Chain A
Amino acid sequence: MPESLKFHFTPVDEAHADEKNVHEKASTDVADTIDILKKEFPDGISDVVVYAGEYTVFVTRDSLVEICTALKETLGFSYLVDLAGVDRFTEDAPRYEVYYCFVNIHAKKRIRLKVSLDEDDPVLPSITRLFKAADWNERECYDMLGIQFEGHPDLRRMYMPEDFEFHPQRKEFPLLGIPGSLPLPPRTPEGGLTMDPFAAARQGSPVKSYQEPESEF
């Protein structure tokens, strides 16, 4: 078997605990950046996890914006690659996580931040003022998991219709959906045409009944 296809790294496997991950990349080794962050924000960083040569920095909610500002303005991580939410669905740890992946294009480095959020208080400050790219990602995260981003310029649903009441990527949401929560057009031609699901985007208000307003002509 060629070396590149062998499976080398299993974190839970004690026997291989000190084996090196052969797929490890120099770009994910950001120990020096994390040292700087730790020195500057001693209370902002709750944990640093290293797995397969990749660093994950757990930051607190209150210092998230400050840390992102420092990453962007002084440490050169000017490119937000990804931002999304995770539903861990556990009782003993905070239920939600939101992660942020940044890239320093000139130094060829990648870093990942994570914020843990409690089920009762899924609110985060928005970083759209720093990274424009966060806009739609935060909307997606809000749509799918119901995490609120304070200070977001336009926190509407990304995928689901605007009057949808649930957050489908939460683990308690059934895979096949909740019957009747998403209206279909009427089955008979006499039912009339149906509503625009994007009403709020055009400064209208979505009508729950999906009934076409009467024609003026």
Chain B
Amino acid sequence: MDSATGYLTTTVDAVVNWARSNSLMPMPMGLACCAIEMMAFGGPKYDVGRFGSEAMRFSPRQADLMIVAGWCSYKMAHAIRRVWDQMADPKWCIAMGACASSGGMHRCYGVVQGIDNFMPVDVYIPGCPPRPEAVIHALMDIQEKIRNEYSVTNDYSSGSPHAELAQPESARLTADGRDLSLNGSGLVHA
């Protein structure tokens, strides 16, 4: 049986994806004016609780969706990337607004021309700023994306980047005691 499309994995996928997509915890990376609209998105009027995402997590360890709202300077890029790297897998990212998607009107030396220059982005939202409905739409797109993922095979198949971790310790430690499956900073990357 093909493990990627087998009955058991797809059924478990359906359950896992249903759970994941309906309880996305956003990490609000509010950098500029767009963050104001992101607050409206989280507030009672637009009630994103209908989609299970009303609980903003201010710790990257507890979040699985980063909303980058606003223009990002070169100096801030390092901090954003640091927060992103600390988020546990699986994780998704929304680039909210013209600035986060492409630099927008800030076409100048200090602003990164699109956050996809240094981190992966799943959904881009156009607009300056986008209305909260647009952010909800982006969230629904992410949910759609999650529902179509092969979560079980992605997470646990032998092709996974985490497969090295399943090896016995003797196979992954170097002579001087460093762990080959971890990068220089001691974090596991997907």
Range, interface on chain A: 20 to 34
- Report if A7 contacts B (CB, 8 A): no
Contact A192 B184 (CB under 8 A): yes
- Interface readout for A182-200 with B: 1 if CB under 8 Å, 0 if not? 1111110110111111000
Chain B proximity of A140: nearest CB distance (Å): 13
Chain A proximity of B168: nearest CB distance (Å): 21
Q: Which of A160, A184, A195 contacts B110 (CB 8 A)?
A: A160
- Report if B145 contacts A (CB, 8 A): no
Q: Which of B81, B109, B117, B189 contacts A175 (CB 8 A)?
A: B109
Residues of A within 8 A of B107 (CB): 175-176
- Report if B166 contacts A (CB, 8 A): no
Interface-centre pick from A174, A186, A194 (highest chain B CB count, 10 A): A194
- Report if A203 contacts B (CB, 8 A): no
- Report if B167 contacts A (CB, 8 A): no
Range, interface on chain B: 20 to 34
- Report if A118 contacts B (CB, 8 A): no
Q: Which 10 A-B pairs have the closest CB atoms?
A: A177-B109, A189-B189, A185-B81, A182-B74, A185-B118, A215-B186, A193-B185, A194-B78, A184-B118, A192-B184
Closest A-chain residue to B82, C-beta based?
A193
A49 and B39 alpha carbons, distance in the complex (Å): 49
Offer 14 A-B interface pairs, CB within 8 angstroms, sorted by A.
A161-B74, A173-B109, A176-B108, A177-B110, A182-B109, A184-B74, A184-B118, A185-B77, A185-B81, A185-B118, A186-B118, A192-B183, A193-B81, A215-B185
Residues of B within 8 A of A160 (CB): 75, 110
Q: Which residues from chain B sit less than 8 Å from chain A, CB to CB?
A: 74-75, 77-78, 81-82, 85, 107-110, 112, 117-119, 183-187, 189-190
Residues of A within 8 A of B187 (CB): 193
Residues of A within 8 A of B184 (CB): 192, 212, 214-215
A174 and B119 alpha carbons, distance in the complex (Å): 26
Contact A197 B78 (CB under 8 A): yes
Supplied contacts A184-B112, A189-B189, 12 more A-B pairs, CB within 8 Å = A161-B74, A186-B118, A187-B118, A190-B183, A193-B82, A193-B187, A194-B82, A195-B78, A197-B78, A210-B78, A212-B184, A212-B185
Residues of B within 8 A of A168 (CB): 109-110
Contact B186 A217 (CB under 8 A): yes
Residues of B within 8 A of A174 (CB): 109
Q: Known interface pairs A177-B109, A177-B110, A193-B85. Does A185 touch B186 (Cβ–Cβ under 8 Å)?
A: no
Chain A proximity of B9: nearest CB distance (Å): 25
Residues of A within 8 A of B185 (CB): 192-193, 212, 215
A182 and B108 alpha carbons, distance in the complex (Å): 12
Chain A proximity of B22: nearest CB distance (Å): 27
Contact B78 A196 (CB under 8 A): yes
A158 and B118 alpha carbons, distance in the complex (Å): 24
A10 and B91 alpha carbons, distance in the complex (Å): 59
Residues of A within 8 A of B190 (CB): 189
Interface-centre pick from B74, B107, B118, B189 (highest chain A CB count, 10 A): B74
Contact B109 A194 (CB under 8 A): no
Residues of A within 8 A of B112 (CB): 184
Chain A proximity of B53: nearest CB distance (Å): 25
Closest B-chain residue to A185, C-beta based?
B81
A182 and B118 alpha carbons, distance in the complex (Å): 13
**Which residues in chain A, 103-130, are within 8 Å of chain B measured between CB atoms?**
none
Closest B-chain residue to A173, C-beta based?
B109
Contact A159 B78 (CB under 8 A): no
- Interface readout for A150-186 with B: 1 if CB under 8 Å, 0 if not? 0000000001110000001000011111100011111
